[in-house]
Each structure stands twice: as structure tokens, then as C-alpha cells.
Amino acid sequence: MSGRRELARALREAGVPGGHYWIEGVHEPAPTPPDFVYLRSAPDGSGWETGVYERGAYHPVGRYADEAAACAGFRTLAL
């Protein structure tokens, strides 16, 4: 998995509901669902972060140095 656009396409093709996931800059459902798995740049700017958003809070699951690794980790989380 090389990038976020390819990841979003793979999730759509796998039939993952659009409200189940949020990918920064590529798939940001509006209105924002109450709970979802996410992929975003790390808040401290150190790379990428995957996790679960629940009850108004982000709960990180993984941190990655580059986008490709984050996409691979997120695919496992989202499927």
C-alpha cells in the first residue's frame, strides 16, 4: 500500500462503509461520524498516526515514520 488515495480506493473496493474510517486529506466524511478508525499526520509532526476516534477523543493505536507504513497498518485496522 503506497499512499492514502490507494488505501481509500482499496477500502471502498473491499466494501468498508465510508462512515467507518477517516483518512486525512482523502476521505473525511461530513458530518463527522461519532466513532471511526482514523489515519492522520501525528499531532507533533513526527510522522503518521492510526487509531480509533470514540466519544469525542482520539485514541492512537500505531505511530509510523512514513505514509506507506501508516497506510499498511491502517488497512489492517480498518478491515
The pLDDT tens digits of the residues spanning 16-40 come to 999 999 999 999 999 999 999 999 9
| pLDDT score at 1 | 54
- Model confidence pTM above 0.85: yes
**Is residue 78's pLDDT more than 90?**
yes
Tell whether the torsion through CA atoms of 55, 32, 2 and 49 is positive or negative. negative
| pLDDT averaged over every residue in the chain | 95
Q: Who contacts 28 (Cβ-Cβ below 8 Å, separation ≥6)?
A: 22
- Binned at pLDDT 50, 70 and 90, residue 2 comes out as confident
